[in-house]
Chain A
Amino acid sequence: MTTAAPALAAPAAAHVYDFANSPCGALRTRVAAAEVMLRPSGGMWLEVSRTLVVADLHLEKGSAYAARGQMLPPYDTRETLDRLEAEVAALSPATVVLLGDTFHDRRSEDRLPGDDAERLRALATGLRLIWVIGNHDADGPQRLPGDAVDELELEGLIFRHEPQAGPQPGEVAGHLHPAAKVRASKGSVRRRCFVTDAERAILPAFGAYAGGLNVRDKAFAGLFARPPMAGALGRGRVHAVGWRSLGPD
């Protein structure tokens, strides 16, 4: 791991983030005292406890729209589970944390096609599945395996769905669906992203139909002690992007 200059907290000076690219495409960095890997899939990997964290799957978002008469393709759950299974196969985690809004609404579990429910059950065998409760899925799973919790502490980090206001050292959350508009000499692209100030981190949405909210939006204001860094999801790689390279939509 190549290490940049240590983070001496001199508030006026720009913070130098401690990060490195890993051969698997992930971005290795620190959140509070923990070392984490930000994966190109949008998941966070904690090597010490072999934990995979994914946020905002919004399963059955397509059918939620269909129930209201807008027939979005019903393949979003399938697509999202494809991605999750690929991560589990690649990492063999001991624990998978679903960081809230795993279902798009309270009736999603009822609409979940049988074979997709089966895939979720199969996924949960041989590992610990934890459902952190979100605002869209406040009831937690009814028939699917796993433990529902409001918050979870692990490796000195606290995992909850919705980021709490003000500085929250050690917090890892989802909910906001961060997206980065990255400007570079070749133009600009908009991608889902992690966003972290090395004290706390917010994960991108993992679900196939989950849209993104620009990290420059005021919903992110006040969450970070210093201009945060974005980990923008590229093809097979997470790109560390400084605050100054991030534009509004």
Chain B
Amino acid sequence: MADAAVPASDLLPPRFADWFAKRGWSPRAHQLGMIDRARAGRDALLIAPTGGGKTLAGFLPSLIEISERPPANAPTGLHTLYISPLKALAVDVERNLNAPILQMSLPVVAESRTGDTGISRRQRQRVKPPDILLTTPEQLALLCAWEGARAYFESLRCVVLDEIHTLHSSKRGDLLALDLARLQQLAPNMRRVGLSATVDDPEVIKRWMAGPAGPESIDLVRGPGGAEPVVDVLLSEGRVPWAGHTAQHAMAEVYEVIKKSRTALVFVNTRFQAEFAFQELWRLNEDSLPIALHHGSLAAEQRRRVEAAMARGELRAVVCTSTLDLGIDWGDVDLVIQLASPKGASRMVQRIGRANHRLDEPSQAIFVPANRFEMLECQAAREAIAEHKLDGDPPRIGALDVLAQHVMGCACSEPFDMVELYDEVTSAGPYRGLSWEDFEQVVDFVSTGGYALKTYDRFRRIVRGPDGKWRVRNLETAQRHRLNVGAIVSPAVLSVRIAARGGRGGRKIGEVEEGMLEMLEPGETFVFAGQVWELAGVTNLDVLVRPANDKDPKMPSWGGSKFALSTYLAQRVRQLMYDQDHWQVLPTDVREWLEAQRDRSVIPAEEEMLLETFPRGKRHFMVCYPFDGRLAHTTLAMLLTRRLERAGVGPLGFVCNDYALAVWALKPMDELDFDELFAQDMLGDDLEDWLNESFMMKRSFKGCAIIAGLIERRFPGAEQKTGRQITFSTDLIYDVLRRHQPDHLLLRCAREDAATGLIDVARLGGLLARIRGKIRHAALDHLSPFSVPILLEIGKERSPGHAGEMILAEAEEDLIAEALS
């Protein structure tokens, strides 16, 4: 590693050393480290806290190199390209970067270029590029699709990727990785530099940002790190609830901890939890401590105000969701509180890193479990963090619709040779595993639409010339492609609105993720924001509902966390549960709960999945505990219900949380063949049938069709009918394509998107493989202690109001008495 291997005096030219000295600063080790890595011609990933001179560290090597360039007669061209995930950040950095340039009178021109940049400036930038260009991934894609991209980027020496952890794991990241591969082709000497404030798993980011030489070519440079974090679990002896997500029982303790700390970040997993915790803390706030709230549903202006107050050190606590991520100076945070379960060790380490501001002291974190299963989870996470065991997310596989857009962009820029482009594309992290066959299919799609019926050969968008190279058919086609560049697709969150007259949406009552909606048909009922609603329909981005009096809603609640327990953490929870000696770390009431489960039902072995069946009221229940997260459980429950329907037991409904799922039916299920019921082939036809009919697939298809360029978002002169535009229906295209060419590339893309993003098929596949032959069935006379939390979710009151809590408390007492009777 590079830190201070070379003395500062050798790395910093006098002009720069003077500048530091004049400000009474001395260059930090990681800033020198970045210069040293640049001198060595290495790629670098810098992980340093915000406010630690991270951006300057990213630019220092370029500033030095540019100012040391000998005077040239010809224009020198673009030297450094800076990519930011946000337009606003690019503009902000332009301002911050120009301060030292001016103060040192460096011969360096640094300019931003975003969608908001004026035409004349953009044109000038194309003719006479600045030394440093600050822009976004979308603008880069556009620049790469211009004729003359090769000449424009040929002088490029360095690309800086800011806030890289937000760029990499998405379709946007796929596109950016492809454009990096292109840039490397145009400018072989280009170095790659990544900047990140968060302490995520650096290996994942290295794999993504690496060029042809692979992740080994990237040196990790760390900013000042802290001591080992100190992580505690709040035991709330004697008061850990059976169920729920609010951690209301622990609020007074949380408040006391906030009072003792300087500034605390209180992380929660959902907006609902954030609102609730904020209200509860203010109810207890006798000292009127400045406690603020920050989550994604708040107006941007309000969030900015909170961030500014935080930066000025005026706040004692901020209750926040994962939205508090980007480019924010954290002020003097000395404590991180995680309300409700952390869901993953890496994620938690990242959050604890927020309290790392004072470098010499260990960061402090407290987990506050909201229920008994979460108590197990928090203990497991605490131990994983202490052992430096991270979750190891699987690397992302690049999407083919994005690749199609990129291939078209390449052709718009200059003719390409298919083999050369394949080599280039497979040097990009997400596409390293791309097969030649898939690549061929993508090129065929770009050219003719990729149809088995070869009638479009004469309409090819890209054509192969006598030199064997592919080029865009004509200028107009290239122009239209450039109008539609980008990989940001519509949000996956829908507004829930009360249906008004005329089928329109009225008052908004909240937001849900699209995946949850998939489980309901119009006319069915569910609980949301403390009330029972009937689904009226879905229009565009609105879910229309109307109040219902159904006492028995099909989907008892939407809520809890959208994050699944990491596979690794789930495994640790199962271990902890099975290992009775380990129960010592748990508070008495949780221990007693486990003992009651052992005595009345079964504690499954580590590799087993417990499945309980029991009658209750006039119904028969099946409850199982895979610990694979709500999304995978909900998909499983959907598929199980179809199978139980066929088995003739008359399933009536289901409920899922992060740990378990429960299905209830008219007839007993004790005699079913559970290995058969949970057989992996349910991911075949059953899944396919369900998915193909779902509007979720149609929505995924639309997104893929837009990104891949089948449907153009922006097109001069859209079709008109009697003075009114008829929107082109991708649903019609989906239906026709599905019937006539079900294996078409875009249907495959849509299926993959739906399977990864919305229903977590990969996780479910792992679950089914894991439990094969390992289902431990317990046929019980009545419900078990473990089943109480999931049964409490049926008809659960989710409003933060106290009436709701009382109803919940009453229901809980009844159930517990029954479980322990």
Q: Do A and B bind each other?
A: yes
Binding site for B on A (CB under 8 A): 63, 66-67, 69-76, 78-79, 111, 113, 176-177, 181, 183, 185-189, 208-209, 211-213, 217-219, 247-248
Q: Which residues of A contact B744 (CB under 8 A)?
A: 73
A225 to B732, CA, bound (A): 33
Assess whether B40 is interfacial by the CB under 8 Å rule.
Answer: no
List 12 A-B pairs, Cβ < 8 Å: A63-B455, A69-B459, A70-B711, A72-B449, A72-B733, A74-B451, A75-B739, A78-B453, A78-B740, A185-B523, A189-B537, A211-B727
A87 to B561, CA, bound (A): 51
* One of A73, A183, A188, A211 near B449 (C-beta < 8 A): A73
Q: Which residues of B contact A66 (CB under 8 A)?
A: 449, 456, 459
Whether A79 and B736, one on each chain, are in contact in the complex, defined by CB atoms closer than 8 angstroms, is yes
**CB-based closest 7 A-B pairs:** A71-B449, A187-B522, A187-B537, A75-B740, A186-B523, A219-B722, A247-B503
Shortest C-beta distance, B334 to chain A (Å), equals 52
The answer to whether A209 and B712 touch (CB under 8 A), given A187-B544, A219-B722, is no
Shortest C-beta distance, B192 to chain A (Å), equals 34
Most buried by A among B522, B537, B736, B741: B736
Whether A75 and B503, one on each chain, are in contact in the complex, defined by CB atoms closer than 8 angstroms, is no
Instruction: Name which of B218-226, B229-237, B472-480, B776-784 contacts chain A.
Output: B472-480
Q: Which residues of B contact A218 (CB under 8 A)?
A: 724
Q: Which residues of B contact A176 (CB under 8 A)?
A: 722
Q: Which residues of A contact B451 (CB under 8 A)?
A: 71, 73-75
Assess whether B101 is interfacial by the CB under 8 Å rule.
Answer: no
Q: Which residues of A contact B740 (CB under 8 A)?
A: 73, 75, 78-79
Whether A69 and B449, one on each chain, are in contact in the complex, defined by CB atoms closer than 8 angstroms, is no
B473-513 vs A, Cβ < 8 Å mask (1 yes, 0 no): 10011001000000000000000000100111000000000
Shortest C-beta distance, A83 to chain B (Å), equals 11
B722-757 vs A, Cβ < 8 Å mask (1 yes, 0 no): 111011110011011101110010000000000000
Whether B456 and A209, one on each chain, are in contact in the complex, defined by CB atoms closer than 8 angstroms, is no
A221 to B310, CA, bound (A): 59
Q: Which residues of B contact A78 (CB under 8 A)?
A: 453, 740
Most buried by B among A66, A181, A187: A187
Nearest residue, chain A, Cβ from B454: A74
A114 to B167, CA, bound (A): 49
* One of B537, B711, B728, B741 near A211 (C-beta < 8 A): B728
Assess whether B536 is interfacial by the CB under 8 Å rule.
Answer: yes
**How many B residues, CB 8 Å from partner?**
45
Assess whether B158 is interfacial by the CB under 8 Å rule.
Answer: no
Q: Quick one: which of B446-462 are within 8 Å of A by CB?
A: 448-451, 453, 455-456, 459, 461
A76 to B736, CA, bound (A): 7
Nearest residue, chain B, Cβ from A211: B726
Q: Which residues of A contact B712 (CB under 8 A)?
A: 70
Whether A73 and B722, one on each chain, are in contact in the complex, defined by CB atoms closer than 8 angstroms, is no
Nearest residue, chain B, Cβ from A78: B740
Binding site for A on B (CB under 8 A): 445, 448-451, 453, 455-456, 459, 461, 473, 476-477, 480, 499, 502-504, 522-523, 535-537, 539, 544, 710-712, 721-724, 726-729, 732-733, 735-737, 739-741, 744
Q: Which residues of A contact B710 (CB under 8 A)?
A: 70-72
Q: Which residues of A contact B449 (CB under 8 A)?
A: 66, 71-74
Q: Which residues of A contact B729 (CB under 8 A)?
A: 211
A66 to B740, CA, bound (A): 17
A219 to B725, CA, bound (A): 12
A143 to B635, CA, bound (A): 53
The answer to whether A113 and B453 touch (CB under 8 A), given A71-B448, A73-B744, A213-B722, is yes
Q: Which residues of A contact B456 (CB under 8 A)?
A: 63, 66, 71, 74
Whether A208 and B736, one on each chain, are in contact in the complex, defined by CB atoms closer than 8 angstroms, is yes
Nearest residue, chain B, Cβ from A112: B455
A186 to B537, CA, bound (A): 8
Whether B722 and A217, one on each chain, are in contact in the complex, defined by CB atoms closer than 8 angstroms, is yes
A197 to B724, CA, bound (A): 24
Shortest C-beta distance, B77 to chain A (Å), equals 33
A111 to B455, CA, bound (A): 9
Q: Which residues of B contact A213 (CB under 8 A)?
A: 721-722, 724, 726
Nearest residue, chain A, Cβ from B476: A69
A67 to B450, CA, bound (A): 15
Q: Beyond A63-B455, A187-B536, A187-B537, list 18 extra A-B contacts (CB 8 Å).
A: A66-B459, A69-B477, A69-B480, A71-B451, A74-B453, A78-B453, A79-B739, A111-B455, A113-B455, A176-B722, A187-B523, A188-B536, A209-B732, A211-B732, A213-B722, A217-B722, A247-B502, A248-B504
Q: Which residues of A contact B477 (CB under 8 A)?
A: 69
Q: Which residues of A contact B455 (CB under 8 A)?
A: 63, 74, 111, 113
Nearest residue, chain B, Cβ from A79: B736
Q: Which residues of B contact A70 (CB under 8 A)?
A: 710-712
A128 to B537, CA, bound (A): 44
Q: Which residues of A contact B735 (CB under 8 A)?
A: 208
Q: Which residues of A contact B732 (CB under 8 A)?
A: 208-209, 211
A79 to B728, CA, bound (A): 18
Shortest C-beta distance, B737 to chain A (Å), equals 5
* One of B453, B461, B476 near A75 (C-beta < 8 A): B453
Shortest C-beta distance, A167 to chain B (Å), equals 19
Shortest C-beta distance, A223 to chain B (Å), equals 12
Q: Which residues of B contact A247 (CB under 8 A)?
A: 502-504
* One of B453, B523, B537, B724 near A219 (C-beta < 8 A): B724
Nearest residue, chain B, Cβ from A186: B523
Shortest C-beta distance, B741 to chain A (Å), equals 7
A79 to B734, CA, bound (A): 12
Q: Which residues of B contact A69 (CB under 8 A)?
A: 459, 461, 473, 476-477, 480
A213 to B722, CA, bound (A): 10
Q: Which residues of B contact A248 (CB under 8 A)?
A: 502-504
Shortest C-beta distance, B763 to chain A (Å), equals 31
A67 to B572, CA, bound (A): 58
The answer to whether A73 and B737 touch (CB under 8 A), given A177-B721, A187-B522, A188-B536, is yes
